[in-house]
Structure 1
Amino acid sequence: MRIAALFLAGLALLGADAVKPEKKIDARLKEVARLQGVRANQLLGYGMVVGLDGTGDKDQTKFTVQSLANLMSRQGLTVNPTTVKVKNVAAVMVTAELPAFARTGSRLDVTVSSTGDAKSLAGGTLLMTALQGPDGQVYAVAQGPLLVGGFSAAAGGASVTKNHPTVGRIPEGGLIERETGGNFNARASLRYSLVEEDFTTAVRVVHSINEELGEKVAQPLDARTIDVQIPKDYQGRAVELVARLENLNVQLQPKARVVVNERTGTVILGSEVRVGAVSIVQGGLSIVVTSTPLVSQPAPFSQGKTVTATKKEVTATEEKPKTVTVEPGVSVGKLAEMLNGMGVTPRDMVAILQAIKEAGALQAELRVL
């Protein structure tokens, strides 16, 4: 009995060593999910920048001339568009982001970008421009002097440009005129969207919310969406409920993923990536073609002509193949060290990882940028 007990205990210890604990990452709900309906909105407007030092649009930019003539007409001045010079004026598009829960009278930053052939917007001032949302309604107006983080200079046919002088910003240059959304506290339910779809994470988020509130008010709709019915105790107090839920800890399972950028030869490896048993043979064949010019001179007092020719030589060099055998379960980080020891370049490593994936030995998702 004693021997049998010791034998069973040994098996238990072996089993405990063989089964590795599952790696988990703790994160807050606000970091893994977004609350639907709480987001910014994009605004867009067309305007004019004046006061430029001869770096504005040229006369060939017809819409700038027309815009300036229309603007002066609204100010009570009648101007012939054919006589307008616009070298100190530039037509621009103005963009901004309307934050969630923004209130009337608040200010926001705006970005001004040239739409014509202006050389620089430095020193210019944006005239009052209406910023519209996707629904065509005006939500803000923008006006003010531009800050341009670049310059452009030219003289004698030579020019120097730094950064992007045709794009500028106006800090707090936009004034909100219309609010979005309604009474957040009047909501009867909340809906969260996971940043990355995952059924396991969705179920764990639901479990954490129900355990925190002590009742089953949350349910998963799919791998990304979670619906939460506001309890009676928080009716009319949705803000307090969100503040309580957004700091809940959620256990995440790190995904096995390899991200490859073929243009730069960059490989980003996840800690959970594993490689099955595989043998890698990597070798190189280089072919060099050289051309040597030759001149053939005729014999003295002969009537021959000088003839030029080219002698071509082709040399092929095949390197000895480098072989590495990978044991099952090896991490990609260890594989990268082994390949670096073989002198494999980053671009060759990208090709090797893609081939391993095609062979079914890479136990991870491979994303190529």
Structure 2
Amino acid sequence: MLDIRTGLKLRLMSLILAVFSVLLSNAAYADMVRLKDIGKFSGWRENALVGYGLVTGLANTGDSPNNKATRQSIANVLAQFDVAVQPDLVLSRNVAAVMITAKLPAVAHQGDTIDVTVTSIGDARSLVGGTLLTAPLKAPNGKVYALAQGALFVGGYKYDLNGNVAQKNHPTVGSVPAGGIVEVAVQARILRPDNTMVFTLSDADFTTSSRIAAAINKAFGETLAKAQDAEGVEIRVPEADREYLVDFVTRIEKLSIEPDTRARVVIDERTGTIVSGGDVRIAKVVVSHGDLKLSIITDNSVSQPILIRNTGAEIRTETVSNSRINVSERSETGYVSASNNTVADLIHALTRIKTNTRDIISILRAVKAAGALRADLIIQ
């Protein structure tokens, strides 16, 4: 009987130790982040494209005849099909002049499709139901990289009749999903002429940059990486890996480190939003907060003469204003004592004494001014 109990105790102890080791392991890797999630290689970026075109098929909601650019564009399109029409004779309101924007990925092959956004540049009332005619999309260097065409998807509407208007969102902005076709292939170049690459951090930090270089060198067993500054890590590509650059980059992106971040408290005064890390510390501080309300009320009354028939220059109706000031102060004052607590603890304590968000923002600014908030206070 004793052996059975001893065996059960040993099994229970081993189970507890196993659970404890798993928890420790999860805690150790809880803050580990892949390099792919905190930065990118220099040269890997999207390319902006822009174009001009016409949207047709609008139900009398297009540009008015006063828009000379639209009339000229319609005449130019018809001239390509051997239809000669003077721009002054074009009176259609079913066409709108638009600007087209799109983003070309860092790597794109001929025939790939991209999404395009269409915006009206004239006085069109709505682009609902319209179709974009074929239009070239150019890069800043003036070269055409894609063609855009297709039916517009507009997430809004606008209808008006006899002075009544019903509108939702912006009906003069639409999109054409997969409406752009890539005509010229592009390939981002991340390998520099000296056979090195630069990994750039999304948030510059010296400690994180140093940890990335150390992790790369440890993974490859040789000194390949060197932290240039707080944002960039220079990586030398071995000669054997230059032919298989994709595999080399994949191995680097899969590495995990624990990034070092600065403590920050972000406040949006317009919406009353406070965002803070859960471990942002506050030094020893005492907060005393009161609530004073002041209101001024004015009552307007009319003084009417008693003898209505006895009128003259000195007898008239007078308006009398009576004003009073009401001052109310909360009887109890909010008192919070913080000793090596976090911002989350302070906000929780202030919430318990029913402090509103605007007052909490003022208190955090005062705590920062007192030098007790050990974090960057960012006010938007």
CA contact (8 A) 1:24 1:253 kept: no
Match for residue 6 of structure 1? none
Distance, in Å, in 1 between the alignment partners of 2:298 and 2:131 is 62
Is 1:240 the equivalent of 2:251? Answer: no
Structure 2, unpaired ranges of 5+: 1-26
Match for residue 125 of structure 1? 131
Is 1:366 the equivalent of 2:373? Answer: no
CA contact (8 A) 2:291 2:333 kept: no
- Residues 323 and 236 (structure 1 numbering): CA distance in 2 closer, same or farther, change over 3 Å? same
CA contact (8 A) 2:108 2:187 kept: no
Which of the residues 51, 54, 57 maps onto 1:48? 54
Match for residue 32 of structure 1? 38
CA contact (8 A) 1:276 1:326 kept: no
CA contact (8 A) 2:336 2:349 kept: no
CA contact (8 A) 1:255 1:270 kept: no
Q: Following superposition, which runs of at least 4 residues in structure 1 exceed 6 angstroms of deviation?
A: 21-24, 182-187
Letter in 2 for 1:263: R
Is 1:79 the equivalent of 2:60? Answer: no
Instruction: Give, in angstroms, the shift of residue 146 of structure 1.
Output: 1.5
CA contact (8 A) 2:50 2:101 kept: yes
SS at match of 2:160: strand
CA contact (8 A) 1:152 1:160 kept: yes
Distance, in Å, in 1 between the alignment partners of 2:370 and 2:123 is 53
Match for residue 318 of structure 1? 329
Distance, in Å, in 2 between the alignment partners of 1:194 and 1:259 is 21
Is 1:95 the equivalent of 2:101? Answer: yes
Q: Over residues 245-287 of structure 1, what are the superposed CA-to-partner deviations in whole Å (9 max), with x where a residue is unaligned?
A: 1010111234311110100111111122111122222222222
SS at match of 1:252: coil
Is 1:149 the equivalent of 2:149? Answer: no
- Residues 252 and 101 (structure 1 numbering): CA distance in 2 closer, same or farther, change over 3 Å? same
Distance, in Å, in 2 between the alignment partners of 1:169 and 1:141 is 14
Which of the residues 52, 64, 85 maps onto 1:58? 64
1:149-168 matched pairs, under 5 angstroms: 149-168=155-174
Is 1:172 the equivalent of 2:183? Answer: no
Which of the residues 139, 143, 149 maps onto 2:145? 139
Match for residue 262 of structure 2? 255
Distance, in Å, in 2 between the alignment partners of 1:58 and 1:161 is 20
Distance, in Å, in 1 between the alignment partners of 2:229 and 2:189 is 27
Distance, in Å, in 1 between the alignment partners of 2:190 and 2:302 is 89
Distance, in Å, in 1 between the alignment partners of 2:361 and 2:295 is 25
Instruction: Give, in angstroms, the shift of residue 306 of structure 1.
Output: 4.6
Instruction: Give, in angstroms, the shift of residue 297 of structure 1.
Output: 5.0
- Residues 76 and 323 (structure 1 numbering): CA distance in 2 closer, same or farther, change over 3 Å? same
Instruction: Give, in angstroms, the shift of residue 111 of structure 1.
Output: 1.2
- Residues 296 and 165 (structure 1 numbering): CA distance in 2 closer, same or farther, change over 3 Å? closer
Letter in 2 for 1:67: S
Instruction: Give, in angstroms, the shift of residue 211 of structure 1.
Output: 0.6
Aligned alpha-carbon RMSD (Å): 2.3
- Residues 298 and 186 (structure 1 numbering): CA distance in 2 closer, same or farther, change over 3 Å? closer
- Residues 311 and 68 (structure 1 numbering): CA distance in 2 closer, same or farther, change over 3 Å? same
Match for residue 274 of structure 1? 281
How many residues are treated as equivalent by the alignment? 349
Q: Over residues 268-319 of structure 1, what are the superposed CA-to-partner deviations in whole Å (9 max), with x where a residue is unaligned?
A: 1112211112222222222222223344455558765554422222222233
- Residues 355 and 81 (structure 1 numbering): CA distance in 2 closer, same or farther, change over 3 Å? same
Which of the residues 324, 331, 336 maps onto 2:347? 336
Q: Over residues 16-60 of structure 1, what are the superposed CA-to-partner deviations in whole Å (9 max), with x where a residue is unaligned?
A: xxxxx9997200010111111122111100111111111111112
Match for residue 191 of structure 1? 198
Instruction: Give, in angstroms, the shift of residue 73 of structure 1.
Output: 2.7
Match for residue 289 of structure 1? 296
CA contact (8 A) 2:338 2:346 kept: no
SS at match of 2:32: strand
Greater shift in the superposed pair: 47-56 or 297-306:
297-306
SS at match of 2:349: helix
Which of the residues 358, 362, 378 maps onto 1:351? 362
Letter in 2 for 1:84: V
Greater shift in the superposed pair: 218-227 or 322-331:
322-331
Letter in 1 for 2:359: D
SS at match of 2:288: strand
Greater shift in the superposed pair: 311-320 or 51-60:
311-320
CA contact (8 A) 2:190 2:197 kept: no
Match for residue 12 of structure 1? none
Is 1:228 the equivalent of 2:235? Answer: yes
Percent of pairs identical after alignment? 38
CA contact (8 A) 2:106 2:188 kept: no
Letter in 1 for 2:251: R
Match for residue 16 of structure 1? none
- Residues 214 and 237 (structure 1 numbering): CA distance in 2 closer, same or farther, change over 3 Å? same
Instruction: Give, in angstroms, the shift of residue 321 of structure 1.
Output: 6.0
